[in-house]
Structure 1
Amino acid sequence: MVWKVCCIYGTGIVSIVLLITGIALVLTQVFQNALYSRIKQEIILKNGTEAFEAWENPPPPIYMQFYFFNLTNPLEVLKGENPAVEEMGPYTYREYRPMENVRFSENGTEVTSINPKTYVFVPEMSKGTEDDLIRTANIPAMTVMEKFKTHAIISKLISDYMRSSGEGLFVTRSVREMLWGYVDGLLFALRTFLPDLDPNFGLLYKKNGTSDGEYVVLSGEKNYKDFARIVEWDGKRSLDWWSTNTSNMINGTNAAYFHPLITNNETLYIFISDICRSLYAQFEKDVTVRGVPGFRFVIPKDVFANATENPANAGFCVPPGNCLGSGLLDVRVCKQGAPIIMSSPHFYQADKKYIDDIHGMHPNAEEHETVLDINPLTGILLRATNRIQTNVLVEKIDTFSSQTQNVKTLVLPVMYLNESMLIDEASASRVRSVVNQGNVVINIPFIIIALGILLGIVFMLLMCKNHRPEASASERQPLLQPS
């Protein structure tokens, strides 16, 4: 009898101990802190870590898709009508971007490398071939006209040459030429006076198999939030194109890597050299990619809003006060004076004026928004779509009246790209394993509490059974006695 009572009360004591222990572990977050500490130690750029191997040679395939806007009414545009364009593409390329010339600082806190990108055409994922012809803005000619429009004699000589050679405001070239380059007749002719001038032009000229500059990033060894954060690009700790120190800051990563333990209330910063500035992304919603939980971050409208809507963007107006409408970024200062304007595809999130100016614009979030789906525990990118559009500023130039005629001042879309990646199944499986193990570790205190509650229920049942009154001898007698 004594042992029975001891077992009952022992069950109660164990239940209380388990409950106290579990609650204490929840409040102190011992297991969660242990898990996070281990993740912080493993996700750093250091030889031998999985994080470094994935950073050096990204396993998921990356694809670059180009969509061109073919101008269908060039003569009418010169007379002052709005342009009409038809979208052509995608022209899809497989992108290879390994890190090369990797060097560690002596204390291991900084990593220097270059990131050459190579593009290989993928016909089966394309709608058309590289030989497709595109009629679009003559960007070399527009750049030359803009540069010399205030020089009366030079502009007349250039205008006469353009007239005699058939050069105009628009040009027809193949997809291959528009992307990777061709010898431009006007630029070639100008070499007579400017021998150092490169006569070649292409939207991605000299960008296939080459790097955009040397990067210095933090390894994350001192602070996990500094993982892969860029501190220097192309020898610069800050940019020098824009008019404020804030606008010239190089912030964040290159959008391919992020620090672990991301929360849904933080802002992620990204530096993109192609548009000459840093951006930021904010949390939108929870997602699941290949069975892996993730946070979706998107580029908010404020990033490209004009200075009236977002005063922090005043520094991107160069010269100061020279601001375009919302949704556009004038990058002439970093594109050798070419009248290049960047935006989201189809002027998504831009002022309605730019959409209405061009027949054929159909902006929507699903097709034209930049999206980053990130696993918050590891910081691993699960899915991404980087979408950006290249436009040109078209305007009438009096000294080049033969070429510009009565054209309206407007922003003409030329091409937009969609750089996308989706985590491969092998990588997703590894991330799922880490996430599942993490969930088990984090939930250990709750498992202990559940066991405590279960034993508490068993204890109460045993107590009730043990204290049930026993029947007397008379009560145990049968109701009916045999006769």
Structure 2
Amino acid sequence: MIGAMNSWTKLLVVGGLILTGVSLLWPVVLSSLMYKELKLSPGTKSFQHWEKTPVPMYIDIYFHNWTNPKSIETDKPEFNQMGPYRFYEKRTKVNLTWNANGTVSYRQTRHWFFDAENSNGTMKDTVTTVNFVPLVIAHMARFRNSRDQRTLSWAFTGLNLDLEVVKTVEELLFDGYHDKLLNILRFIPGLTKMKITDRFGWFYKRNGSAAVDGVFNMDTGANDLSQVGKIRSWNYQNKTGYFRDQCGDVAGSSGEVFPPWLTKNDRIGLFSGDLCRTINLDYSEDATVHGIRGLKFSGGTNLVDSGIVDEETTCFRNGEQTPLGLSNLTECRYGAPIFLSYPHFYLADSSIQNHVGGMNPNKQQHSFDLVVEPTFGVPLDVKGRFQVNIMMQPFKDILMLRNIPKRYYMPILWFDQRASLTDPLADEIGFMITLYHVCNTIALILLVVGVLSGAAGFTMACKQINRTLTNKIPPYRTYSLEPRRVPPSVVKPKNTLPPSVHSTNGKRAVIPKSNCTNPI
């Protein structure tokens, strides 16, 4: 067959087969190249970006300043917002251990540096806020007998404690402030599981610490690239121990690395050790960052629901059901009545939004959003926002809290964690995406050209083979199907015998036998 084809035909057939084969194998080759770069291992791009985050990260902190603490018995609490106080954040992974099962164990350090130029205020600004320490102690003692609660009341009164404190921003955040009640906690056994420190501050002794966030174990994608970046355990456990059923699972990403080939149907999970839970984000819309197309995933009511809207969130309920808009973190915070919400009680029930004054929920300013490039799973823009609240309620045996008219969820401060691409990094990612799509386009073109070339070559080959066979077969002879006519001269009369065999009297004459065995 091959011998019957000319050179051009052979070229079309062989070339078509080669181009088709290359185009079909190209996705395998491209996936292999992506696997080498996207899996976490020393020397890869993903590892470099994960170990020391190259994207500038900022955290804007806003305080809710309590403006009418002295009229709590008659008026609802009113607040005004202070800030932002911006801090540059630097994250580094330390104490890395590469495991044989395709995971890496690590701790992380976080350093915060005050950015005065981009802040609306200074670290010396004073804030009137809830007196956190006595409220926490009172809540922890709520199941103690009346005698113990009255003892606490005498201590509060003897120390001239009020419902509010006035402290500077630096005291409330990193420096901490001294509270004599912290010493009392040392002498009340079993009241709390938390480690008692000499000062209280929201970030006290956290700046630069590798111990605070705990030990993480994360999938490197070595066995399955679709699992890269997923947290497998926290503090050597795959359950947090603070929520029931699937709500207590250690799951989701650390936030720096995501699997490639994301779609709009995917749900992104972010695991937070500070919150002892996974934050689930769902696709909301397409977005473009630095000219790069991405998918925006946003937080919904599932973060602040305990079975009211979504039955699956029932397992986040610790004790009594909280109103929509609040997530109970009391167990996670060692018994302190801390409740998580979106800033200004965004997405909360109207009863929560209106039970204190000064709240102005706004989707653009208070939603939790993450934009991810879907092909490589690169985070393009992060706006992680949540608010810390403390529950304040009346206790009849504690004088300081006796006359509070009802339960309040007092807003303390809220965070806006931001990270966005720099221009050089955006150019690098844009080049990778363009190269990926160009390679796929070339592979598609090769496939089309290969199929067309192969089809044309096979068509020409068939024609040439048919022509060759036609030239080698001799001409056909035609035969008539009509009976052949015999000339009259060769037709013998029926029953004609030689004269010697006829009898004169009508009887057959006997023919004498011949001595010859063969009459011829």
Q: TM-score, normalised by structure 1?
A: 0.84
Cα-to-partner distance string for 1:126-153 (whole Å, 9 max, x where unaligned): 1111111111111111011112243322
- Residue 184 of structure 1: aligned partner: 179
Q: How does 1:204-223 map to 2 (within 5 A)?
A: 204-211=203-210, 212-223=213-224
1-structure distance, mates of 2:24, 2:348 = 45
- Residue 4 of structure 1: aligned partner: none
2:120 to 103, 117, 127: 127
- Residue 67 of structure 1: aligned partner: 62
Cα 1:452–1:227, aligned 2, differ >3 Å: closer, same or farther?
A: closer
Q: Does 1:56 align with 2:57?
A: no
The alpha-carbon deviation at position 14 of structure 1 amounts to: 6.9
2:30 to 29, 35, 38: 35
1-structure distance, mates of 2:452, 2:221 = 43
Q: Does 1:400 align with 2:401?
A: no
Cα-to-partner distance string for 1:144-190 (whole Å, 9 max, x where unaligned): 11122433222222212222322122211111111122211222344
2-structure distance, mates of 1:175, 1:29 = 61
2-structure distance, mates of 1:176, 1:37 = 50
Contact 1:178 1:202 in 2 (8 A): yes
- Residue 115 of structure 1: aligned partner: 108
1-structure distance, mates of 2:44, 2:276 = 32
1-structure distance, mates of 2:268, 2:404 = 45
Cα-to-partner distance string for 1:332-370 (whole Å, 9 max, x where unaligned): 111121111001111111111111112111111111111
- Residue 231 of structure 1: aligned partner: 232
- Of the structure 1 ranges 174-183 and 67-76, higher mean CA displacement relative to structure 2 is found in 174-183
Cα-to-partner distance string for 1:101-149 (whole Å, 9 max, x where unaligned): 11111x3611111111111111011111111111111111101111224
2-structure distance, mates of 1:434, 1:368 = 33
2-structure distance, mates of 1:70, 1:228 = 39
- Residue 408 of structure 2: aligned partner: 410
- Residue 329 of structure 1: aligned partner: 327
RMSD of aligned residue pairs (Cα, Å): 2.9
1-structure distance, mates of 2:406, 2:228 = 48
- Residue 305 of structure 1: aligned partner: 305
- Residue 99 of structure 1: aligned partner: 93
Q: How does 1:159-308 map to 2 (within 5 A)?
A: 159-180=153-174, 181-191=176-186, 197-211=196-210, 212-242=213-243, 244-308=244-308
Contact 1:394 1:407 in 2 (8 A): no
2-structure distance, mates of 1:333, 1:188 = 22
Cα 1:237–1:302, aligned 2, differ >3 Å: closer, same or farther?
A: closer
1-structure distance, mates of 2:18, 2:266 = 33
Contact 1:218 1:230 in 2 (8 A): yes
1-structure distance, mates of 2:451, 2:94 = 56
- Of the structure 1 ranges 95-104 and 188-197, higher mean CA displacement relative to structure 2 is found in 188-197
The alpha-carbon deviation at position 405 of structure 1 amounts to: 1.6
Cα-to-partner distance string for 1:278-319 (whole Å, 9 max, x where unaligned): 121111222221122211111122332231321111111113
The alpha-carbon deviation at position 31 of structure 1 amounts to: 3.7
Contact 1:169 1:404 in 2 (8 A): no
Pick the structure with greater CA Rg: 2
Cα 1:133–1:194, aligned 2, differ >3 Å: closer, same or farther?
A: farther
Q: TM-score, normalised by structure 2?
A: 0.78
- Residue 358 of structure 1: aligned partner: 356
1-structure distance, mates of 2:95, 2:451 = 58
2-structure distance, mates of 1:217, 1:190 = 37
Cα 1:378–1:41, aligned 2, differ >3 Å: closer, same or farther?
A: same
The alpha-carbon deviation at position 445 of structure 1 amounts to: 4.4
Secondary structure at the aligned position of 1:115 is classed as strand
The alpha-carbon deviation at position 440 of structure 1 amounts to: 0.4
Contact 1:241 1:333 in 2 (8 A): yes
Contact 1:191 1:199 in 2 (8 A): no
Q: After TM superposition, what 4+ stretches of structure 1 lie above 3 angstroms from structure 2?
A: 28-34, 189-197, 401-404, 445-455
Q: Does 1:388 align with 2:382?
A: no
1-structure distance, mates of 2:233, 2:452 = 57
Q: Does 1:137 align with 2:135?
A: no
**Structure 1 counterpart of 2:160, which letter?**
G
2-structure distance, mates of 1:407, 1:220 = 55
2-structure distance, mates of 1:405, 1:177 = 29
**Structure 2 counterpart of 1:428, which letter?**
A
1:346 to 344, 347, 368: 344
- Residue 375 of structure 1: aligned partner: 373
2-structure distance, mates of 1:282, 1:209 = 32
2-structure distance, mates of 1:40, 1:370 = 30
Q: Does 1:86 align with 2:92?
A: no
Cα-to-partner distance string for 1:184-206 (whole Å, 9 max, x where unaligned): 12223444556984342112222
1:439 to 437, 440, 446: 437
Gap runs ≥5 in structure 1: 1-9, 456-483
Aligned residues: 440
Identity, % of aligned pairs? 25
Secondary structure at the aligned position of 2:208 is classed as coil
2-structure distance, mates of 1:65, 1:357 = 25
2-structure distance, mates of 1:65, 1:261 = 31
2-structure distance, mates of 1:178, 1:222 = 45
- Of the structure 1 ranges 177-186 and 57-66, higher mean CA displacement relative to structure 2 is found in 177-186
Secondary structure at the aligned position of 1:427 is classed as helix
The alpha-carbon deviation at position 235 of structure 1 amounts to: 2.1
2:41 to 9, 28, 46: 46
- Of the structure 1 ranges 288-297 and 152-161, higher mean CA displacement relative to structure 2 is found in 152-161
Contact 2:304 2:340 in 1 (8 A): no
Secondary structure at the aligned position of 2:117 is classed as helix
**Structure 2 counterpart of 1:170, which letter?**
E
- Of the structure 1 ranges 397-406 and 184-193, higher mean CA displacement relative to structure 2 is found in 184-193
2-structure distance, mates of 1:79, 1:188 = 30
- Of the structure 1 ranges 36-45 and 442-451, higher mean CA displacement relative to structure 2 is found in 442-451
**Structure 2 counterpart of 1:45, which letter?**
L
